[in-house]
C-alpha cells in the first residue's frame, strides 16, 4: 500500500508532515520554474476511492470549489461544516488528484531540485512518477520537497498532487471564511547547488546595526572544505563575526553537516524603516565554494527598525505609534483564496490612500509577496498563524494530539517571515480558547525571536493586566470603549491595549468610529486596533444557474455592483442547507474593492494633517504623524458659504515636525452676510509615491468659521391643497409626506436584535388615522395618530402656503413604549424624472449620525441613482447627515427645492424601506421611477451590533416630542 496513504494523514493530528523540508527565510521564487496553469484533474468522493473515469482540467493556483465541480463553497462562521468531533472527519471527504507532466531542464544536472506547493487545503500528498515524496498540512504556508532523486534533468517526470479536503487539521482552520479546497498558491520547481544556504536570519536595528546569521548545508552529506559566506548591503561589504566562530569551537557546536556564519555591518546615517518612511536596503548573501565561485545567493530587502514594549506602550523606533489597522483575508470574488501580486498590491495601495497603516493577517500567514509589498509601501503587519479552532476551541487548546500542529504552524510562520521589517508582532492565531498548546508555541517564538512581541487574544482576554500569559499585548475582541478606557485609567494596566478586532463592518455599519478614535488618541495606554474587516467576501455568481462565475467573470462587476445576470453570493446561495448567510459580507470594501463610505470616515479620523480653531479664534494646523514632516503634501483652502458661494485659495503647509502644531492666518475674509461658513483644507500628495500619484487626496479636514443665521417666520401666501385624509396634494409628489419611524433594517439592526423589537412594536406597519383637520386662513393643521402593535404616536402637521411653495411644520410625540426607534421624520415620493440631487450639508458620500466625521459640509451634487449604497444584503443606505437644504431636478432644471430648519438626516433613493427589507440581493430590486425622500428629525445611529457593541446612547432616538420643519418649493 502507498506509504503516504498508509499514514492516513487526514485523520492523524500527530502527523503534521512527512518528507517536507524545514521552513526558512531563503526566498526561492526568483529563477524558479513555474508549474502554474492547467493540470489534469479528478475529484474523488474520498481519499480511499480509486481513480477512474475521465480526467477534467483545473487551473492552478485555484480552488476546485470555484472551477466547475459539484463541490461548491460553503460559508460558516463558528460551526464546522460537518458534525464529527476532533480529530475525526467525515467519510464523504472530497479528494482532488492533480497531475502534470514536467520537463526538467537539462541544465539542472548536478543540482538539488525541490518542488514547492504554495498552499493546499487541507492535506497535501506528493508523488513523482508514482513514488511517494511527502505529506504536508497547513493550508496557508508553502510545502517544499526535495525531489532530486526522482527528477532527471533533461527528462520528463509526472507530478501528482493529491489534496484531501477534510482532515483533523480542518478543526484548527475554522476561520470565518468560505470553505474551499484545492491548491490556492503557486506551484514551483527550484534548482540549487547541493551546497546551499539553509536559512538567513537578518536583524537590523534602527541605529544602523546589521547582523546576518547564516546556516549552510550540503544536500550530498558533509560540508566541503573551504566554503565561506559574504554579504553586501547597498554595495558595502559585510564583515564576518569571528567571535561566533570561536564560540562554536569552544562549545563543541561545530558540525560537519551544518555551517553557521554571522555577518555584521554598521550603516552610517541610516534611514530607519517605518510605515511612514519605508526605507529599504538591498542585501545579498552569497555562499562560496573554496575556489571562490558562488554556490548560492539569498537576496533580501532590509528595513532598519526596532520594536519594543516599554511599560504599557508599543514602540517603533522609540516612538509610541497608533495602529490604524484592518483585518484582511486572502480573497478575490472570482478566485477565492487565490490572490495575485497585482491584487495584493492594489489592496495595500487602497489602504494607504485611506490612511490605514496596519494589517492583521486574519487568520493565517499571507502569500510571501504580501510581506514584500508591506515592506515596500509601508504597512505594519501583525502576522497571524494558521490556528483557529472556533467550534471546538476548548477541547483542542490543551489536547496534546494537537501540540505539534500549533507549534509547527507558529514556528514555520516565524521562520519564513522573520526578515520582514513590516512584521512588528507575531500572533499565535485566533479564537482557539487558551491552553498549553498556545504556551508552547509562545515559548518557541520568544526564544527564537526576542525582537518582536507576541500576541494572542484568547490568552489576554482572561485578564488584560496579566503579565505571565502568552500575550505581550492586551488585544481584546469587540470590547466596548467604556471597558477599555476604564482599564487604561484604572492604574492596573501592564501592557499596551490594541483591539485585534473592533468596529464590525457588516453592511451599513461602523458607527461611533470617530468616538473610538477620539478616546484612543486622548487616553494613554490605548494604541488603536484593527477593524473587522477589509473585504465583503461576495463570490460573483451566475444568477441563472446559481454557480460561481469563475475566472471568466472578470469585468462583470463595477463600483460595488455585480453586473447583469450576476450577483454577489453569500452563505446559502450555493444551496448549502447549513450556513451563516451574509455574515461573510463584513468589509470596508465591496467584493470588487470599491470603497464603502466608512473608508472616507476612516480617512479623516486618521488624517495626517488636521485643523482646528483655538480659544482665541486662531486657525491651528497640526501634524499627526509619528515620523515625518509635511513636505510630501500640498494643500488648498476652500470656503463654503450657506448662500451658495464657494471660494478656493492656494495653501502652503507650514513646516511642522511630527506631533507639532502651528498657527496660520485664516485665508479668507468672511463677508458680513452669507450665514454659515465652513473652511476646508484639501490635502493631497505633492509628488508621485509608490502608493499614490501626485494630486491624490489624502484628507479634507474642516472647521466651521461661522454658524447659521436665524430664519424668519414663514408668511402665509395662498392655499394648501389636501385630500380627504388630510394629506398634502402636490403636482411633484406621487405620495404625500407622512410620518416614518421605520428603516429597512441594517445587518446590525437584524443581528443585534433591534429590528425584531421594531417589528414586535409594529413600526413597519403603522396605521394612520386622522384625528382632526383644521383651517386657519390658508394654513391647514392636521392631527393624526400612527398606531403600532404596542403604542401610538401622535403627529401634527401644520401646512402653510408661502411664496413659491409650502412650509411644513411637524411634531411627533413618541411614547415610552417605542423607546428605541429607527427614525422620526417624514417620507414622501416624487414624480419621475427628478434625477439630480444637489444639497448643502455633509457629503458627498453617505453619512449617518454616528458615522459623519468623514463627510465635510459643503455644496454637493450626485445623480440620484448614485446615492444608494449597494450593501450585499439590501438595507437602509444612502443617507446624508447634516443636510440644510436640497434640490431635486430634471435635466431641464425643473423640479423641487427643500429648505430645512436645521441640519437633518436626509436620504433620496429609488427604493422604499419595504422594497429593501423584502430583498435578499440587489438583483431582486426594481428601482422606482420617482424618488423616495426621507427627511428625519432624528435618526438612530448605526453602531456595530452585528458583532460588537451597539451605538452609544447619545445616538439613539429619544422618546417624547420631536419637532422639525421644512419648506417645499417648485424650481
Residues annotated catalytic, as ranges: 431, 501
Contact 80, 580 (CB under 8 A): no
Place of cell 466625521: 853
Distance separating alpha carbons of residues 140 and 119, to the nearest angstrom: 5
The set of residues, in sequence order, having a beta carbon less than 8 Å from that of 552 and lying 6+ positions away, is none
User: Smallest Cα–Cα separation from 357: which of 381, 329, 373?
Assistant: 381
CA distances from 927 to 508, 585, 736, 834, 909 (A): 19, 23, 19, 14, 9
Q: How distant is the alpha carbon of residue 779 from its chain centre? A: 53
φ and ψ at residue 244, rounded to 5 degrees: -65, -40
Cis previous bond, 363, omega within 30? yes
Give 63's contacts (C-beta < 8 A, 6+ positions apart).
73, 121, 180, 181, 182, 184, 335, 336, 337, 338
Cell numbers linked to 453: 512581541
**Cell numbers linked to 282:** 538591498
Strands 557-558 and 646-651: unpaired
Residues in contact with 249: Cβ distance below 8 Å, sequence separation at least 6, in sequence order: none
Contact 963, 811 (CB under 8 A): yes
In order, the DSSP letters of 574-626 are TS-SS--GGGGB--SB-TT-PBPHHHHHHHHHT-SEEEEE-TTS-EEEEE--S
Do residues 925 and 874 make contact, with C-beta atoms less than 8 angstroms apart? yes
In sequence order, which residues have a C-beta less than 8 Å from that of residue 104 and are 6 or more positions away? Answer: 113, 151, 152, 153, 154, 155, 156, 157, 189
Instruction: Give the phi and the psi of residue 298 in degrees, each rounded to 5.
Output: -125, 125
Which cell is 135 given? Answer: 505529506
Would you say how long the chain is, in residues? 971
Distance CA 499, CA 478 (A): 7
- What is the three-class DSSP state of 774? strand
Radius of gyration of the chain (CA): 31
| DSSP labels, 41-101 | EEEESSTTSPP-S--EEEEESEEGGGSS-S---EEESSS-SS-PPTT---S---EEEEEEE
C-alpha–C-alpha distance, residues 883 and 899, integer Å: 9
Query: Which residues, listed in sequence order, are joined to residue 52 by a DSSP beta bridge?
Result: none
- Count of other CB atoms within 10 angstroms of residue 329: 21
Which residues have CB under 8 Å from 892's CB, separation 6+? none
Alpha carbon distances (Å) from 937 to 28, 665, 904: 62, 37, 6
Find out whether 409 and 448 touch, Cβ atoms under 8 Å.
no
Task: Please tell me the distance from the alpha carbon of residue 962 to that of residue 795, in angstroms, as a whole number.
Answer: 10
Residue 699's DSSP bridge partners are 683
How many CB atoms sit inside 10 A of residue 810's CB? 23
DSSP string, 261-296: EEEEEE-TT---B-SSSB--EEEEEEEE-TTS-EEE
Classify residue 236 as left (phi > 0), alpha (psi -120 to 50) or beta: beta
Burial of 74 (0-12, 13-18, 19+ CB in 10 A): buried
Amino acid at each position: 500500500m502507498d506509504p503516504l496513504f498508509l499514514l492516513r494523514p487526514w485523520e492523524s493530528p500527530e502527523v503534521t508532515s512527512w518528507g517536507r523540508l524545514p521552513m526558512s527565510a531563503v526566498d526561492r521564487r526568483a529563477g524558479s520554474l513555474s508549474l502554474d496553469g492547467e493540470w489534469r484533474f479528478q475529484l474523488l468522493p474520498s481519499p480511499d476511492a480509486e481513480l477512474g473515469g475521465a480526467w477534467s482540467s483545473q487551473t492552478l493556483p485555484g480552488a476546485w470549489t470555484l472551477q466547475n465541480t459539484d463541490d461548491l463553497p460553503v460559508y460558516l462562521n463558528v460551526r464546522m461544516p460537518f458534525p464529527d468531533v476532533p480529530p475525526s472527519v467525515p467519510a464523504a471527504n472530497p479528494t482532488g488528484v492533480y497531475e502534470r507532466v514536467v520537463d526538467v531542464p537539462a541544465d539542472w544536472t548536478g543540482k538539488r531540485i525541490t518542488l514547492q506547493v504554495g498552499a493546499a487545503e487541507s492535506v497535501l500528498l506528493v508523488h513523482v512518477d508514482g513514488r511517494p515524496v511527502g505529506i504536508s498540512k497547513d493550508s496557508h504556508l508553502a510545502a517544499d520537497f526535495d525531489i532530486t532523486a526522482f527528477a532527471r534533468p533533461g527528462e520528463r517526470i509526472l507530478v501528482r498532487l493529491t489534496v484531501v479536503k477534510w482532515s483533523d487539521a480542518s478543526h484548527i482552520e475554522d476561520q470565518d471564511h468560505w470553505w474551499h479546497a484545492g491548491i490556492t498558491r503557486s506551484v514551483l520547481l527550484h534548482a540549487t547547488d547541493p551546497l546551499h544556504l539553509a536559512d538567513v536570519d537578518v536583524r537590523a536595528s534602527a541605529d544602523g546595526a546589521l547582523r546576518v546569521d547564516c546556516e549552510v548545508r550540503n544536500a550530498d552529506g558533509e560540508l566541503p572544505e573551504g566554503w565561506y559566506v559574504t554579504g553586501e548591503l547597498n554595495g558595502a561589504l559585510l564583515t564576518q563575526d569571528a567571535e561566533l566562530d570561536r564560540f562554536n569551537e569552544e562549545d563543541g557546536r561545530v558540525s560537519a553537516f551544518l555551517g553557521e556564519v554571522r555577518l555584521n555591518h554598521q550603516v552610517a546615517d541610516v534611514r530607519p524603516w517605518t510605515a511612514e518612511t519605508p526605507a529599504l536596503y538591498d542585501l545579498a548573501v552569497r555562499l562560496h565554494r573554496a575556489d571562490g565561485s558562488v554556490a548560492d545567493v539569498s537576496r533580501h530587502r532590509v528595513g532598519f527598525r526596532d520594536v519594543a514594549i516599554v511599560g504599557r506602550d508599543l514602540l517603533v523606533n522609540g516612538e509610541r505609534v497608533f495602529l490604524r489597522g484592518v483585518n484582511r483575508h486572502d480573497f478575490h470574488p472570482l478566485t477565492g483564496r487565490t490572490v495575485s501580486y497585482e491584487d495584493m498590491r492594489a489592496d495595500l495601495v487602497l489602504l494607504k490612500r485611506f490612511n490605514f497603516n496596519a494589517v492583521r493577517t486574519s487568520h493565517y500567514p499571507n502569500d510571501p509577496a504580501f510581506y514584500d509589498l508591506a515592506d515596500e509601501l509601508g504597512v505594519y503587519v501583525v502576522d497571524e498563524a494558521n490556528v483557529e479552532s472556533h467550534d471546538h476551541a476548548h477541547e483542542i487548546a490543551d489536547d496534546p494530539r494537537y501540540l505539534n500542529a500549533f507549534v509547527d504552524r507558529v514556528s514555520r510562520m516565524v521562520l519564513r517571515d522573520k526578515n520582514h521589517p513590516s512584521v512588528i508582532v507575531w500572533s499565535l492565531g485566533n479564537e482557539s480558547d487558551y491552553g498549553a498548546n498556545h504556551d508552547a508555541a509562545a515559548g518557541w517564538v520568544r526564544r527564537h525571536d526576542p525582537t518582536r512581541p507576541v500576541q494572542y487574544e484568547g490568552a489576554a482576554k482572561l485578564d488584560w493586566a496579566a503579565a505571565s500569559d502568552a500575550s505581550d499585548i492586551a488585544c481584546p475582541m469587540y470590547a466596548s470603549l467604556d471597558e477599555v478606557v476604564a482599564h487604561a485609567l484604572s492604574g492596573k494596566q501592564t501592557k499596551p491595549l490594541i483591539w485585534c478586532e473592533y468596529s464590525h463592518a457588516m453592511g451599513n455599519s461602523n458607527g461611533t468610529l470617530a468616538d473610538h478614535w477620539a478616546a484612543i488618541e486622548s487616553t494613554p495606554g490605548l494604541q488603536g486596533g484593527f477593524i473587522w474587516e477589509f473585504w465583503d467576501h461576495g463570490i460573483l455568481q451566475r444568477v441563472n444557474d446559481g454557480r460561481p462565475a469563475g475566472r471568466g467573470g472578470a469585468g462583470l462587476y463595477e463600483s460595488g455592483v455585480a453586473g447583469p445576470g450576476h450577483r454577489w453570493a453569500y452563505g446559502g446561495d450555493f444551496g448549502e442547507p447549513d450556513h451563516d448567510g451574509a455574515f461573510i459580507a463584513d468589509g470596508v470594501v465591496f467584493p470588487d474593492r470599491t470603497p464603502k463610505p466608512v473608508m472616507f470616515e476612516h480617512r479623516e479620523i486618521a488624517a495626517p494633517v488636521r485643523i482646528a480653531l483655538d480659544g482665541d479664534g486662531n486657525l491651528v494646523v497640526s501634524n499627526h504623524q509619528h515620523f515625518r514632516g509635511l513636505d510630501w503634501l500640498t494643500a488648498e483652502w476652500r470656503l463654503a458659504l450657506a448662500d451658495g458661494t464657494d471660494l478656493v485659495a492656494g495653501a502652503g503647509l507650514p513646516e511642522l515636525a511630527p506631533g507639532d502644531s502651528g498657527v496660520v492666518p485664516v485665508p479668507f475674509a468672511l463677508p458680513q452676510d452669507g450665514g454659515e461658513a465652513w473652511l476646508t483644507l484639501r490635502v493631497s500628495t505633492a509628488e508621485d509615491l509608490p502608493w499614490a500619484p501626485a494630486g491624490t487626496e489624502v484628507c479634507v479636514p474642516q472647521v466651521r468659521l461661522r454658524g447659521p443665521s436665524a430664519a424668519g417666520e414663514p408668511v402665509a401666501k395662498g392655499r394648501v391643497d389636501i385630500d380627504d385624509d388630510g394629506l398634502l396634494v402636490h403636482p411633484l409628489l406621487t405620495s404625500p409626506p407622512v410620518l416614518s419611524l421605520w428603516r429597512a433594517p441594517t445587518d446590525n439592526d437584524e443581528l443585534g436584535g433591534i429590528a425584531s423589537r421594531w417589528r414586535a412594536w409594529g413600526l413597519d406597519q403603522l396605521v394612520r388615522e386622522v384625528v382632526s383637520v383644521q383651517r386657519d386662513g390658508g394654513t391647514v393643521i392636521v392631527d393624526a395618530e400612527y398606531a403600532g402593535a404596542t403604542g401610538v404616536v401622535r403627529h401634527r402637521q401644520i401646512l402653510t402656503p408661502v411664496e413659491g411653495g409650502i412650509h411644513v411644520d411637524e411634531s411627533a410625540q413618541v411614547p415610552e413604549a417605542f423607546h428605541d426607534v429607527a427614525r422620526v421624520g417624514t417620507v414622501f415620493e416624487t414624480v419621475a424624472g427628478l434625477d439630480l440631487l444637489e444639497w448643502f450639508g455633509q457629503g458627498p458620500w453617505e453619512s449617518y449620525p454616528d458615522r459623519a466625521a468623514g463627510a465635510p459640509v459643503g455644496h454637493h451634487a450626485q445623480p440620484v441613482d448614485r446615492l444608494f449604497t449597494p450593501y450585499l444584503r439590501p438595507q437602509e443606505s444612502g443617507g446624508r447627515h447634516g443636510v440644510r437644504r436640497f434640490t431635486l431636478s430634471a435635466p431641464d432644471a425643473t423640479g423641487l427645492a427643500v429648505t430645512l430648519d436645521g441640519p437633518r438626516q436626509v436620504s433620496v433613493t429609488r427604493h422604499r424601506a419595504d422594497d429593501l427589507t423584502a430583498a435578499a440581493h440587489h438583483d431582486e430590486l426594481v428601482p422606482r421611477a420617482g424618488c423616495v425622500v426621507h427627511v428625519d428629525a432624528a435618526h438612530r445611529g448605526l453602531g456595530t451590533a452585528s458583532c460588537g457593541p451597539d451605538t452609544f446612547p447619545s445616538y439613539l432616538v429619544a422618546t417624547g416630542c420631536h419637532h422639525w420643519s421644512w419648506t417645499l418649493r417648485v424650481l
